[in-house]
Amino acid sequence: METKTLSKAAPIIELPKPLEQLSEGEVERKACIGRLMTYTLNNLTSQFVEKDFQWLLPVALSQSTDPLWPDPGASIEKRIEVDIYGKTVRTTASMIIHKLIASSLAYPKLFILSPNIRIEKAERAKTGKHIYEFTQLDFEARNASTKGVMTLVEEVICNLLTSMKQDMKEELSLLCRCDTLELPKRPFKVYDRQELEVDYGADWEEGIAQETSDPVWVTNIPREFYDFEDFTTGKWDNYDLFMPQYGEVLSGAKREWEYEKILKKIERDNVDKYNYALVLKLAKEEKLKPTAGGGIGMERLVGWISGVEHVAETQPFPRAGNSAR
């Protein structure tokens, strides 16, 4: 079967200018995006708290951060490791393992505004979608299902957009998003990654983002050991959320909780077992519970809402390229 060709090759996006180089008009635009970020953080955290999710504070250094492997979407150039008190720890790539442990043991429904550091290959800065420091609203719920998480995410995003369109008209119109930012219809469509590969080939992420005019879910994406994989069908019970004309803003999954499966996948992936000793021990003692969750990239979500060219425009101090302030 022939694959569809994308309408244009991925454009190279300029890195955003630092604060002190912005013109007056550019400062106004930056401040507008900043107000949409404040609105979004306030709105989403309130919604999660109202739904009885507990708000945990983040960890910055740990032994068991996200391996980001073997996710074909990740392109990590370097991992930051440091020795403290005689132990090697890494800067947080995501708090996925902490979420599984916290949700299983003490906080059944939780979320964290979690700063993540992912030093991706330098050329990725030019996609306009990658920054080396970002913050996700990372959430997890014990005994939740994929359907349950999808419904929750659709509800909180539609609530956010509904109230934002009422309360932030001035900002949205300055960013020319008043008319183009539409309230999506629920439930969002769900695609299987395999179908999209047939249609678009390896570049299915770009393909579906360009083609759709509504947010869509994509399921069954092979990646890290902690996402649930059905060994009989070979299908992965995980999901990414893609925004129209933009791309991925959330990834999540139902999780593995059984010792034998986790061990097998860690070994299969060649991931260092030592770093995941605690989660393995808890699984072996049957203290790890089935959970599901996801993480909403805050810069990407607000970037999509604001219609920015480069996601780093949503950051006061852009974390892309080599011009760190």
Interface residues toward Mg ion, by CB under 5 A? 251
Q: What angle do CA 114, 109, 214 make, to 5 degrees?
A: 70
Residue 99: C-alpha distances to residues 106, 174, 278 (Å): 10, 38, 13
**Residue 78, strand partner residues:** 119
The radius of gyration of the chain from alpha carbons, rounded to an integer in Å, stands at 20
Q: How far is the CB of 228 from ligand ASP (least distance, A)?
A: 11
Per 3-state DSSP, the chain is made up of helix, strand and coil in percentages (nearest 5) of 40, 20, 40
Out of ligand ASP, Mg ion, none, what residue 250 binds, judged by CB under 5 to 8 A for its kind, is: none
Q: Binding to ligand ASP by residue 294, rule CB under 6 A?
A: yes
CA distance 242 to 215: 6
Under DSSP, the state recorded for 70 is S
Residue 39: strand pairing partners: none
Looking at beta carbons, which residue is closest to ligand ASP? 295
Q: In this chain, which of 64, 136, 291, 314 binds ligand ASP, going by CB under 6 A?
A: 136
Residue whose tokens read 């990414």: 240
| Candidate list 138, 229, 248, 299; residue touching ligand ASP; CB under 6 A | 138
Q: Segment contacting ligand ASP (CB under 6 A): 6-14, 81-89, 160-168, 290-298? A: 290-298
- Closer of 94 and 104 to Mg ion (Cβ): 94
Report the residue number, 134 or 204, with the smaller CB distance to ligand ASP: 134
Beta strands in 46-165 (DSSP E): 54-56, 61-62, 76-78, 81-84, 87-91, 109-117, 119-120, 133-142
Euclidean distance between CA atoms 241 and 252, whole angstroms: 9
Which of 219, 251 has the CB closer to Mg ion?
251
Among candidate residues 293, 225, 235, the one with its CA nearest the CA of residue 256: 225
In angstroms, give the least distance from the CB of 238 to Mg ion: 9
Q: Do residues 58 and 113 make contact, with C-beta atoms less than 8 angstroms apart?
A: yes
Closer of 91 and 251 to Mg ion (Cβ):
251
Distant-in-sequence, close-in-space partners of 155: CB < 8 Å, separation ≥ 6: 186
Asked if residue 16 binds ligand ASP (CB under 6 A), the reply is: no
CA angle 162, 156, 136 (to 5 degrees): 120
Taking CB under 6 A as the rule, does residue 94 contact ligand ASP? yes
3-class secondary-structure state, position 250: strand
When CB distances are held under 5 to 8 angstroms depending on the partner's kind, the choice from ligand ASP, Mg ion, none that residue 206 binds is none
Answer for which of 16, 247, 295, 318 binds ligand ASP (CB under 6 A) is 295
Contacts to ligand ASP from residues 61-80, by CB under 6 A? 66
- Shortest Å, Cβ 268 to ligand ASP: 19
When asked if residue 96 is in the footprint of ligand ASP (CB under 6 A), the reply is: yes
Number of residues binding to ligand ASP, judged by CB under 6 A? 11
Stretch near ligand ASP under the rule CB under 6 A, chosen from 4-12, 39-47, 251-259, 279-287 = 251-259
Contact positions toward ligand ASP, by CB under 6 A? Answer: 66, 94, 96, 136, 138, 251-253, 293-295
